[in-house]
Structure 1
C-alpha cells in the first residue's frame, strides 16, 4: 500500500481486493465508457472501450494485481493488468491481441517478450490532472516488473487525452493500424 499526497489530499495506491472495490471499478468504467461520454466531451475528457464483468475482474485479480487509487476509501482510479493468457476472454479484445502478434519492438517480435497488457486505465474526472494515471502504471510496474519486460496496450488515435497521458507515463508508439473504422496506436512501456 503506497500513500501519496496529491494536491494536499491523501491517495492510496494498492491492488483491489474486495467485491466493493471491484464494483467501484465497474461503476467508474461505466461512467467513462464511450457510450456514456458525450461526443463533444470525448476529445478533452477521453473515454474507454472495453467493458468488464465482476467475475472477469476477480479472475484477472487472481492472476495479476489490479491497482486502484483510493481517496477516503473510494476508488478514484484504476489500472487493470491483463495477462496474455486472457486473450480470448473478452471477444472485443481478440482483434487487439491479433494485432499485437504482428508487432515488432526494438528488433524483436512483441510475442518474444514476456509482456502484460495494460487492460484499461481510468481516473475519475474529479481527480484528473494530478498525475494519477502515471502513478497507477508505476504502482503496477512495481508489482509485476520481476515477471514482465513490457506493458502493452492500444489506444484509438482520436483519444488524444489518453495518447498524451500514456506518453507522459513513458509509453511509446510501437505500431499503428486501421481496423476498417478507426485508427489505433499500439503503445509499449518498457519495464
Structure 2
C-alpha cells in the first residue's frame, strides 16, 4: 500500500509529464531547498549551487518523459544535482590525489579507528568542512551526508575506490585539524 506522500509525488510527476506547469512548480517547491543544500555541500559556493539547482531542474523537467518512477523523483533529482555539481568541479580542473600502491596498506583499519571520533556540533563541523580542499569536502559530503559508499563515490567521481577511501580519511584528519584550531576538538 502506497503512502499519501508517495501517492502525492507520483501524481505530481504524472501531471508534469502531461505538461502541467502547476505540478512542475509544486515539485520544484518541494525539492528545491534540499537539492540546493546537496549542491552547496559539494561546491561550497552558494552562487554555483543555485546555478546547479536551476540546471538540474531544467534537465529533470526536460527528461521527465524518460523517468519511469522505478525510484523516487527525489532520488532521481538528487543524482542529477550531484552529477552536475561534480561536473562543475571538474570544470574547475579539480585534481584528485592518486595514490601509490604502498600508501594503500591499512586503509580499512585506519577507517575503523576513525569511526570512533568525537561527536561535534553540526554547525561547527559544517563551518570547518567549508575550509577543506574541494576534493576532501566532496568525498566527505558524499560519504557522510549523502550516504554513498566508496564504490559509488568512485563511480560518480571517476576515481578509484581506494582514492575515495584515502580522500575520505585525509578529509577526516584535516577536519579534525581545523576543529582543533577552532578549539572544538
| More strand by percentage | 1
After TM superposition, is the score higher than 0.5?
A: no
Bigger share in helix:
2
User: TM-score normalized by structure 2?
Assistant: 0.31
